[in-house]
Structure 1
Amino acid sequence: MHRDLSFKWFFPHSPAAVWECLTEQEAIAEWLMKNDFKPVVGHKFNFHTKPIPKMDFDGIIYCEVLEVVPMQRLVYTWKGGPMPGVITLDTVLTWTLVAKENGTELRLEHSGFKGFKNYLSSLFMGAGWNGKIRKRLETLLNEKANATT
């Protein structure tokens, strides 16, 4: 069993504004999770959230930056499991920004969900990405735009 997630969203904000929200630690913490991210290929970082023991998840997402093309593409691993050193979810997250008239198209691909348990995880994560997480990103972009006007 294998599943990949793919979403395409439009934000009426510049690629630079969207890129900032995807790559600055403080901004990422506001719309996604607490982190120690740096947009540098090879940088290993973590996201921190509430553990879900029933899903064998310790609350830490272990990541490594694989690709950075400023204001166009950001790729990093997204791994998790029940404890440090035990990885049961091994996926890749790809953000692609496309400048459009009056804004930015943001594509999110979260690929590599393998096996039944990870298939179930992908259902929950897909609903989150396309629901509350997208909304929090949109809210942050709007707040930043309003603060500069």
Structure 2
Amino acid sequence: MQKEINHEWIYEQSPTEVWEYLTQAELIALWLMPNNFKLELGHEFQFTTKPMPELELDGVFHCKVLEIETYRKLLYSWKGGSGNGIYTLNTICEWTLEQYGKGTKLKLKHSGFKEHNTEIFIGMTDGWLKLAEKMLAHINTQK
């Protein structure tokens, strides 16, 4: 059984401005996690956070850029596990941006959650909402 997270936000900023917060490592780190992201198709990168042994996560998420449509779409894999080379979480994050008036409609589809990922799924469903608010706060400080 698979589950997916679907969220949508409206930002006053243009897709170009929002895109920067999805694609520049130093800006991603402000609202999401420390990372070594590069906007290059096929680039493998990591997000790092504190370990969560109760969820079988060592705190390192292994990702790979799968698709780029500049200012419109970003797709990457998102895998995690207990650090033994076995991934208990193997998902896909898809960000899409659309012009919405003078601003942006930002959509997130985080898919591929399995039955054994239920706790992670529940935590990330709410977590993405809080992270999007954090991103907006950082974007607004740049005005």
* Fold match (TM-score > 0.5): yes
* Contact 1:94–1:108 (CA under 8 A) maintained in structure 2: yes
Shift of 1:84: 4.8
2: CA distance between counterparts of 1:67 and 1:31? 22
Partner residue in 2 for 1:109: 109
Partner residue in 2 for 1:8: 8
Q: Which secondary structure does the structure 2 equivalent of 1:34 belong to?
A: coil
Unaligned residue ranges in structure 1 (runs of 5+): none
Question: How do 1:90-105 residues align onto structure 2 when only pairs under 5 Å count?
Answer: 90-105=90-105
* Contact 1:2–1:119 (CA under 8 A) maintained in structure 2: no
Partner residue in 2 for 1:49: 49
2: CA distance between counterparts of 1:2 and 1:20? 30
2: CA distance between counterparts of 1:84 and 1:41? 26
**Alignment root-mean-square deviation, CA:** 0.8
Shift of 1:46: 0.1
* Contact 1:78–1:93 (CA under 8 A) maintained in structure 2: yes
1: CA distance between counterparts of 2:84 and 2:49? 14
Runs of 4+ in 1 over 4 A off after TM superposition: none
Partner residue in 2 for 1:129: 128
Spell out, residue by residue over 1:98-131, the C-alpha distance to the aligned partner (whole angstroms, 9 max, x if none). 011120000000000012x31221110001001x
Report the TM-score when normalising by structure 1: 0.93
Spell out, residue by residue over 1:67-110, the C-alpha distance to the aligned partner (whole angstroms, 9 max, x if none). 01110000000000000512110000000000111200000000
Partner residue in 1 for 2:82: 82
Percent identity, aligned pairs only?
42
From 138, 141, 147, give the equivalent of 2:139: 141
